Amino acid sequence: MRYKTICIHKERHLAIITLQRAENLNVLNSQVLSELGAALTEIDRDKDVKVVILTGGDQCFSAGFDMSEINTFATPAEAGWFFKEAHSVFDCLEELEKPVIAAIGGLALGGGCELALACDLRIAAENATFGQPEIKIGMIPGSGGTQRLPRLIGMTKAKELLYTGDYINAGEAYRIGLLNKVVAAGVLLDEARTLAMKISHQPQLAVKATKLAVNGGRNMDMQSAIAYEARCFEGVFATEDQKEGVTAFMEKRKPVFKNR
């Protein structure tokens, strides 16, 4: 598929998806959502890709959903269909077996912030700004913000941000647990690549099982989640890489994994 609003660059087991609507602050419209969904399907099928980086470049991750498109919706049903597609794409991003790192520079507001929340890990440049300002125009987040944000940073702080629509800078986002790391703008993608390569060198069946266990168990009661983790553990325990990892540990050498 030929993409117009995004691009995919693949290198050394990594896939870098870049939003390419810089002239419009990378706002998300129907075409972006469609292309992003297709890109995730392509990446999911590519066995050489082990980790994904999602970025909008150094200056702007995404300023949110395209209000000029949303303003054309004549009925709640039309708006519902649009956000149903957004939910589908964001859920696909979150559930992708391969870890996804958001490399965030500049604005990550509204739907742009929700897009980052759907990723596994988040690295931001010092110039990054985050917020869910929908309340200021009589709306609420429509693509998971009211659910993912509290699960990441806690109910109290999430409610404050959702009720006020206030923006926070990268330092504050890191302090409250929204980010894994804050870096200089000029090295944002390099830092994301470094983390991605570190993950790509781990045994991939174990990485996939870890993501399944974490994501699958978060909405279960503790007893059910522990049981689910046990099933994921059992699956990994039968792999060649698990045997190699334990053997290498006992022999005090570096493991040589086959499924990287």
Map out the domains of the chain with their CATH numbers: 6-200 (3.90.226.10), 204-250 (1.10.12.10)
Q: Crossing angle, helix 30-45 and helix 76-95, to 10 degrees?
A: 20
Residue with tokens 């790391």: 181
Q: Which residues are catalytic?
A: 114, 134
Render the burial of 60-77: b for 16+ CB within 10 Å, e for the rest.
bbbbbbbeeebeeeeeee
Enter the pTM of the model. 0.94
Q: For 88-131, how does the pLDDT look when each residue is reduced to its tens digit (9 = 90+)?
A: 999 999 999 999 999 999 999 999 999 999 999 999 999 999 99
Q: For 191-200, how does the pLDDT look when each residue is reduced to its tens digit (9 = 90+)?
A: 999 999 999 9
Residue % of the chain over a pLDDT of 90: 80
Q: What angle do CA 206, 228, 199 make, to 5 degrees?
A: 20
Q: What's the CA gap between 86 and 124, in Å, rounded?
A: 23
Beta-sheet strand order (sheet of 107-109): 60-62, 107-109, 129-131, 167-169
